[in-house]
Amino acid sequence: MTFHSWKMKAAQRVQKDRCWLLLVANVCRGQQTEKSGAMKLLPENIKVLYFASDCVEPYVKIITVKDFRYCPSLCNSEDSEAEEPEYQEEGDNDVLVLSDHSQLLEEHHLQQLATHMPARTQGYSWQLIYSTGVHGSSLKTLYRNMADLDSPVLLVIKDKHKKVFGAFSSDSFRVSKYCYGTGETFLFSFSPDFQAYRWSGQNTYFVNGNLESLQIGGGGGVFALWLDSDLYHGASFPCPTFNNAPLSTQEDFIVQDLEVWTVGN
């Protein structure tokens, strides 16, 4: 499924959920329900923060505009707060050490990435947790391989035009109805020159995952990096989370190879 097809399908789900929300709003504003025999008045000036996907029951969080000013993110869960990124200094060992062979990362890639990694990853080797060449092309398999993982991950992609790019995520990828991650998360691209895109501070839409897609960065209806459920179609757009340029050769791209690495013990 391409990004544009996915977006149209998501818009249809949102419209369906909006109809449900209007019904609930009318009941809450004054209509008496047969089940409870009571009603609850809500302030008129409200904001809808989240629309549920098809796999969960409709969920709405309602806050006043006053409280909204103190809400750090429309997307983050309460236990996933943004943190200031902490980066390691360049030193003698400024190269990532891989415990497995990579089909995508070469020595100069590892040197360039090392200078942007958080200090807490220093002194550890990186283990291959998922590869399309080994495990096939499936987002479900990717999630399954990370089910018991509680450490940062490095996503590396090569598109059909041989361009290599990806993202470092402070949290392993998982299915969640909220965005997750911290300000350590960043994007990178190696062609024509190495470029890293760190957190801009504009929002905290770091990572979000569901069974249909994996999304990194967001704002304005697009994502810095988007992958479909088959890990075959992808998309990359400029986005406020990282103030990035498109990572891929074209905004819509085909995945040739994909790897995910995690910090070993």
pLDDT (tens digit per residue) in 189-202: 998 899 999 999 99
Q: Are strands 62-64 and 186-189 parallel, antiparallel or unpaired?
A: unpaired
Based on the domain organization, do 57 and 112 belong to the same domain? Answer: no
Q: Is residue 87 part of a domain?
A: no
pLDDT of 16: 61
> Is the per-residue pLDDT at 142 higher than 90?
yes
Average pLDDT over residues 176-180: 94
> Measured between alpha carbons, how far is 205 from 184 in angstroms, rounded to an integer?
12
SS3 breakdown of the chain: % helix, strand, coil, rounded to 5? 20, 25, 55
Residue 189 CA to its chain's centroid (Å): 17
Q: Is residue 74 part of a domain?
A: no
Range of the domain at 56: 3-68
Domains of the chain: total: 2
Residue 51 CA to its chain's centroid (Å): 17
> Is the per-residue pLDDT at 51 higher than 70?
no
Average pLDDT over residues 191-217: 96
> Is the per-residue pLDDT at 95 higher than 90?
no
Based on the domain organization, do 63 and 140 belong to the same domain? Answer: no
> Is the per-residue pLDDT at 22 higher than 60?
no
Q: Is residue 19 part of a domain?
A: yes
Based on the domain organization, do 145 and 253 belong to the same domain? Answer: yes
Q: Which of 38, 68, 98 is the last residue of a domain?
A: 68
pLDDT tens for 58-87 read 444 454 443 433 344 445 544 444 444 444
Based on the domain organization, do 220 and 161 belong to the same domain? Answer: yes
Based on the domain organization, do 234 and 147 belong to the same domain? Answer: yes
Higher pLDDT, 112 or 2: 112
Based on the domain organization, do 59 and 121 belong to the same domain? Answer: no
Based on the domain organization, do 156 and 64 belong to the same domain? Answer: no
- The CA-based angle 121-125-130, given to 5 degrees, is 100
Average pLDDT over residues 135-155: 96
pLDDT of 253: 97
Average pLDDT, the chain: 79
> Is the per-residue pLDDT at 251 higher than 50?
yes
Based on the domain organization, do 56 and 182 belong to the same domain? Answer: no
Q: Is residue 95 part of a domain?
A: no
How long, in residues, is the chain? Answer: 265
Q: Is residue 33 part of a domain?
A: yes
Average pLDDT over residues 16-20: 54
Average pLDDT over residues 41-66: 46
Based on the domain organization, do 139 and 258 belong to the same domain? Answer: yes
> Measured between alpha carbons, how far is 100 from 89 in angstroms, rounded to an integer?
25
pLDDT-based confidence at residue 123 (cuts at 50, 70, 90): confident
Based on the domain organization, do 53 and 120 belong to the same domain? Answer: no
Q: Is residue 20 part of a domain?
A: yes
